[in-house]
Amino acid sequence: MDDDVTDFGMRIPYLIRQVNHALSQRLDRALKPYSLTQAQLSALAILGHQHPAPSSGAELSQRSGVTPPSMSAALADLAGRGLVRRTPHPTHGRIVEVGITSAGRKLLREVQVATKAAEERDMGGLDAAQQEQLRDLLRTMMRNLDLYLPREEK
Amino acid sequence: MDDDVTDFGMRIPYLIRQVNHALSQRLDRALKPYSLTQAQLSALAILGHQHPAPSSGAELSQRSGVTPPSMSAALADLAGRGLVRRTPHPTHGRIVEVGITSAGRKLLREVQVATKAAEERDMGGLDAAQQEQLRDLLRTMMRNLDLYLPREEK
DNA sequence: TAAGATTGAGTCCTCAATCTTC
DNA sequence: GAAGATTGAGGACTCAATCTTA
């Protein structure tokens, strides 16, 4: 009756943590040959897909779910490898605008093809309807948690 | 059309990562006053709830989703604080059996009450049916990913 | 040989503090 | 003063390697 407290393994945050951990490890492994961290992939993906939307480090860190220092370090590395370009001032002195380079775009394509395959394997146990359901639930949670949500835009 | 590759923000692993990150950060914050890591909480929870089932470090690491070295370090700290007991040999020489102490059990209760409140706040945006749906989907994913699943047992 | 536990090296992250510019 | 970017210190985790015992 008081196993109210015994349901630990059934709590959603616990389940999410487990699933994320497994997926995350697989992603890291897939990313290793490219020497990219998840934060770096996230930054490249945002820069590569957001129409012609270059961003500031602050914005990238927020959308990627990492702290500004983490993103700062990630970008410094990417810039050193010529995958992104940091232009010190747009017209505003303290913002550093970040944009993806063509080399970055090329790498992004490669990585996305590689990770997509692995992902489909991992998601294979869910049919299309279930995946859609899961996506909706997670997006609802993101809204509730005040996380940045990429627009639905078909 | 080829935004096949543009759907990054809609991919389930990405969504899971974002949600987990937010929940994880909140849990860490809630755990901070108790100086517990998530791996340590997981270990205490397993030891505290598994009927009278003490476990080996290997088993705890597997169920907690961390590597054996991580769990080893976590347990060493817990043992140093008197929250778990490590008895070097059950009848078997190389296994270290781990059991929770009464102090550990007491702390576990406290922490679970504290985290439960925060969790309910975080999950508040989903109604009971949605939570059940999400739980089912995540459990299905765990099975597909070959993760350890706590038995359903009502 | 194989399995459990541990140690050591390396990485990515967070937090707190600082520097700069509006 | 407030916001963006960065630096420095500290923590938790992983991987690879080692030690020990069945």
Which residues of A fall within a CB distance of 8 Å from B135?
A: 10, 12, 15
Q: Which of strand C's nucleotides are less than 7 A from any protein C-beta?
A: 3-8, 11-17, 20-22
Distance, Å, A88 CA → D13 C1': 34
Q: How confident is the model at residue A153 (pLDDT cuts 50, 70, 90)?
A: very low
- Which runs of consecutive H residues, i.e. helices, occur in B5-100? 12-31, 38-49, 57-64, 68-80
Q: pLDDT band at residue B8, thresholds of 50, 70 and 90? A: low
Show residues of chain B in contact with A18, CB under 8 Å.
65, 142, 147
Could you read off the pLDDT of B28-80 as tens digits, one per residue?
888 989 999 999 999 999 999 876 666 889 999 988 889 999 999 999 999 99
How would residue A94 be classed by pLDDT, with cut points 50, 70 and 90? confident
Average pLDDT estimate for B139-144? 90
Which residues of A in 51-90 have their CB below 7 Å from strand D's atoms? 56-59, 61, 68-69, 72-73, 75-76, 86
Asked whether strand D has any atom less than 7 Å from the CB of B39, the reply is: yes
Nucleotide lying nearest to A64, CA to C1' measure: C13
pTM assigned to the model: 0.87
More confident residue, B78 or B144: B78
User: Of residues 132 to 151 in chain A, which lie within 7 A of strand D by their beta carbon?
Assistant: none
User: Mean pLDDT over residues A130-154, rounded?
Assistant: 82
Q: What is the pLDDT of residues B19-42, one digit of tens each?
A: 988 888 888 888 989 999 999 999
- Tell me the count of A-B CB pairs closer than 8 A: 146
Q: What is the mean pLDDT of chain A?
A: 86
pLDDT attached to residue B52: 60
Average pLDDT over residues A74-85: 95
Q: What is the pLDDT of residue A1?
A: 41
- Region of poorest pLDDT, from A4-8, A94-98, A128-132, B43-47: A4-8
DSSP strand E in B75-143: where? 84-87, 97-100
Residues A65-83 have a mean pLDDT of 95
CA closest to C1' of C21 belongs to A94
User: Nearest CA to CA, how far is B93 from chain A (Å)?
Assistant: 30
Q: Which residues of B touch A122 (CB under 8 A)?
A: 13, 144-145
Across the beta sheet with A97-100, what order do the strands follow? A55-56, A97-100, A84-87
User: Using alpha carbons only, how large is chain B's radius of gyration in Å?
Assistant: 18
| Cβ-Cβ contacts under 8 Å, A136 against chain B | none
CB A99 within 8 A of CB A93: no
* pLDDT, position A151: 62
Higher pLDDT, B19 or A124: B19
Instruction: pLDDT band for A146, please (50, 70, 90 cuts).
Output: confident
| pLDDT, position A128 | 93
Residue B108: the pLDDT is 93
Say what the pLDDT of residue A138 is. 94
Q: Is A148 helix (H, G, I), strand (E, B) or coil?
A: coil
Q: What is the 3-state secondary structure (H, E, C) of A58-102?
A: HHHHHHHCCCHHHHHHHHHHHHHCCCEEEECCCCCCCCCEEEECH
Return the structure tokens found at A102: 């063509």
Average pLDDT for chain B: 85
Taking the CA of residue A17 and the nearest CA in chain B, the distance in Å comes to 6
The percent of residues above 90 in pLDDT, for chain B, comes to 46
